[in-house]
Structures are given as C-alpha cells and as structure tokens.
Copies of this chain bind each other. A is one copy, B any other.
C-alpha cells in the first residue's frame, strides 16, 4: 500500500497598507466614530488588509508571495506591502 505522505502546508501572511501621506477614507471614518464614542485623544487611524494564503510548502515561497503582491494584492501607487510571515501549518 503506497503511503500517502501528507504534504506539508504553510500559511503566508501579507500585510497591505495605504502609503503614508495617502488619504485613508476608511481610517478617517473609523477615527471619527471612535471620537464620537468618547475616545477624543486618538490622533490617527490607518486601515489595511491582512491576506493569509494557505498552500503546500515548497521552495521559492518568498518570491512567489512577492509576485502575488506586485501583480494582484497591492496597488503600488497607493499601497505598500510586507510579507509578514511564512508559517508551517
């Protein structure tokens, strides 16, 4: 009976943030809402995306994740990305 070796999998975590200096309407809205809740000392709120991708482990994962970001996940004009972690599952 051939042993069905379980392929090891990873979770690649990418953070995509709006570049400094670029207006963040969603962040502004949340800031105002928090102030309306009484949190008047809040100075700034920035909202970005956390993208978690599950796939089989393998070589070249950082380069792969970089391609995802540059071709799809992050708009280079107004966003910057960070490959935060690559963790085995």
Q: CB within 8 Å of B: which residues of A?
A: 9, 15, 17, 30, 33-34, 37, 39, 41-56, 58, 64, 67-68, 71-73
Contacts and interface: CB of A to CB of B under 8 A. Distances in A.
A53 B44 contact: yes
A33 B43 CA distance: 37
Contact of A48 (B49, B58, B71): B49
Contacts of A54: 42-45
A47 B42 contact: no
A47 B46 contact: no
Given A9-B43, A41-B55, A55-B43, A72 B17 contact: no
A56 B72 contact: no
